[in-house]
Amino acid sequence: MSTKDYIEFVTMQIVTYLDLPAEEKKQRRQKKRIPNTAYIHHWFGILPFSFRIMLHKYKKQAR
């Protein structure tokens, strides 16, 4: 993508956003604030932590 195309795309996005009514802009901002965390992300964050705890307990028992 050339620089000219990119600048054209960005300006079109800005103009489109500025043409939206204020109420719709407000709704978009509120929608972005609501966290849509999937269970996969939740478990992916917990699993490494639980493995570390299990490994730590295993090392203590081995001593």
pLDDT at 14: 94
The identity of residue 41, as a single letter, is H
- pLDDT value of position 47: 79
Q: Please report the pLDDT score of residue 35 as a whole number.
A: 66
Q: What is the pTM of this model?
A: 0.45
Q: With 80 as the cut, is the pLDDT of residue 44 above it?
A: no
Collect all residues with Cβ–Cβ distance below 8 Å to 28 and sequence separation of at least 6.
Answer: 20
Count the helices and strands in the chain (H runs, E runs). Answer: 3, 0
